[in-house]
Amino acid sequence: MVSSSCVSHTLTCVSVTVDLRELCQRWSPAMWSSMLYNETDAIVDLQLSQDLGLILSILSLVYLLVCFPLGLCYNILLVAVNLSNKVSMTMPDVYFVNMAIAGLVLNLVAPVELLSSTFTRWHAWEYNDEVHITLLILFNISSLVIMYSTTLLSLDYYIERALPRTYMSSVYNTKHVCGFIWGGAVLTSFSSLLFYVCNHISTKMVECSKMQNKEAADAIMMFIGYAVPAVAVLYAFVLILRIRKESTPLDQDSARLDPSIHRLLLASVCVQFVLWTPYYMTLLVHTIAGAPGYISNGHYLPSYHFMRCVSKLLAFSSSFAMPLMYRQMNKNFSGKLQRLLRRLHCRDQSCTHEHSAVQQVVT
């Protein structure tokens, strides 16, 4: 019995050895090197993913600790100061108030996204698909409002310079235009809402599978949210430069905008497009190449995820860069802020000097 068991074990070992030899003979050196290369590449990608994840986590926390409170405070201050001085508001003030309100919406979206596992290792929560789609819709609406407010500010500035007494770009008309901007932004984001609805009724409606196309939604946002405003702003700047080169007697007209508005306009357009261009470029890449985070063999590219998150961080940064720039470059802001503070200080008093100042502005 013992000898037969030993013989069987020996035969088993011999067969396993033969199988291993045949396997080694079948696998060429190129196949072994390819396997080793793939393992090495996976280790490198894992290390790169960890390093980029740490950098992204630090950037997200810096934004939440520094940029988020600054943006929230200055956006509220910009809206409050201008709405408390409606009589002295100008056409650019209305557009900047509109962008500040959109910035406040971004301020609501930013902490929810930046404290999730997508942006930081030390995440506070995980949100489901419904919350993700809601955040995406709010983000898209804010981006459209900001880009089109900047675009129409450029066009209205040209109208005000070219036709100063026609009141085509008056404060009253600008308020209605801003209302149309919000309505158009909501309608443009309807594709994301369809995507959200179809996720819930896809089992009942086969047609919904045709609408679950994120590339098409990104293409719509890329064209309407970036390409159209970029062309319009470029056209407006060409017209503005042509007006500035032509010296006319109307250049001394008191009805024209303050010269500092031109610098504020130029700075705001440049800052907005610098901060939003990376995000829209990621949409363009996703539209053309599908999901570049994965290649044909299912290999994940951590650098694409990192660049996509950084581009969204830059887009969030517009919510604090714009009010800070408005605060520094608008020379009338300090006077409006002082009047607001005096009004709050003497709310329970007569404040006769404030009433006289308001009467002077009205007259």
Confidence of residue 41 (pLDDT cuts 50, 70, 90): low
Residue 99 pLDDT? 95
Does pLDDT of 257 surpass 50? yes
Evaluate if residue 124 carries a pLDDT over 80.
Answer: no
Listed in sequence order, the residues at least 6 apart from 154 whose beta carbon sits closer than 8 Å to its beta carbon are 232, 233, 236, 237, 240, 265, 269
pLDDT of 358 higher than 50:
no
Tokens of 18: 């033969």
The model's pTM = 0.78
Q: Are 163 and 153 in contact (CB under 8 A)?
A: no
Q: Is the pLDDT score of 145 beyond 90? A: yes
Q: Are 357 and 140 contacting, i.e. CB atoms less than 8 angstroms apart?
A: no
pLDDT band at 13 (very low <50, low <70, confident <90, very high): very low
Reported as a pLDDT band with limits 50, 70 and 90, residue 298 is very low
1.10.1060.10, 3.40.190.10, 1.20.1070.10, 1.10.3470.10: CATH of 56-245+257-292+299-332: 1.20.1070.10
**What is the spatial distance between Cα 173 and Cα 196, in angstroms, rounded to a whole number?**
35
**Is-contact 318 271, C-beta < 8 A?**
yes
Report CA-CA distances (Å) from 192 to 116, 127, 302.
21, 17, 26
pLDDT at 168 over 60: yes
* pLDDT value at residue 211: 52
Is the pLDDT score of 363 beyond 50?
A: no
**Structure confidence at residue 247 (pLDDT):** 54
Task: Reply yes or no on whether the pLDDT at 28 is more than 70.
Answer: no
Helix extents (H) in the chain: 2-26, 29-62, 68-83, 91-114, 129-162, 171-188, 190-201, 208-211, 214-222, 228-245, 259-289, 302-329, 333-345, 352-362
Percent of the chain predicted with pLDDT > 90: 30
Asked whether the beta carbons of 186 and 141 are under 8 A apart, the reply is yes
Q: What is the dihedral of CA 73, 78, 79, 84, to 10 degrees?
A: 120
54 with 308: CB under 8 angstroms?
Answer: no
pLDDT of residue 2: 44
